[in-house]
Amino acid sequence: MLKIAAFEVRKDEIKDFKKAAEKYNVELIFTGKPLSVETFDFAEGCGAVTSLGHSRIDRVILNLMRDAGIRFYCTRTVGYNHINLEYARELGIRICNVSYPPNGVAEYTVMLMLMSLRKYKQAMFRGNVNDYSLEGLEGRELRNMTVGVVGTGRIGRTVIEILQGFGCRILAYDAYPNGSVADMAKYVELDTLYAESDVITLHTPLLESTYHMINRESIAKMKDGVVLINCARGSLMDVSDVIDGIEKQKFGALGLDVIEHEDGIYHVNHTVDIISNRDMAYIRQFPHVTMTQHMAFYTEEAVRSMVYGAVKNLRDLNKTGSSAFELF
d(CA 112, CA 102): 16
- With contact defined as beta carbons under 8 Å apart, do 93 and 62 qualify? yes
Secondary structure (DSSP) of 282-296: HHTTSTTEEE--S-T
Given 54, 76, 94, 233, which residue is catalytic? Answer: 233
Q: What's phi and psi for 173, nearest 5 deg?
A: -135, 135
Q: Is 96 helix (H, G, I), strand (E, B) or coil?
A: strand
Closest residue by Cα to residue 152 from 171, 135, 133, 129? 171
Catalytic residue check, 262: yes
Which helix (H) or strand (E) segment holds residue 86: the answer is: helix 85-91
d(CA 215, CA 212): 6
Given 71, 154, 203, 294, which residue is catalytic? Answer: 294
Catalytic residue check, 294: yes
Q: At 74, which amino acid appears?
A: C
Q: What's phi and psi for 309, nearest 5 deg?
A: -65, -45
- With contact defined as beta carbons under 8 Å apart, do 232 and 107 qualify? no
> Could you tell me the maximum CA-CA distance found in the chain, to the nearest angstrom?
65
Q: At 64, which amino acid appears?
A: L
Q: Is 71 helix (H, G, I), strand (E, B) or coil?
A: coil
* Residues whose CB falls within 8 Å of the CB of residue 129, separated by 6 or more in sequence, listed in order: none
Given 8, 13, 260, 262, which residue is catalytic? Answer: 262
d(CA 91, CA 87): 6
Residues tagged active-site: 233, 262, 294
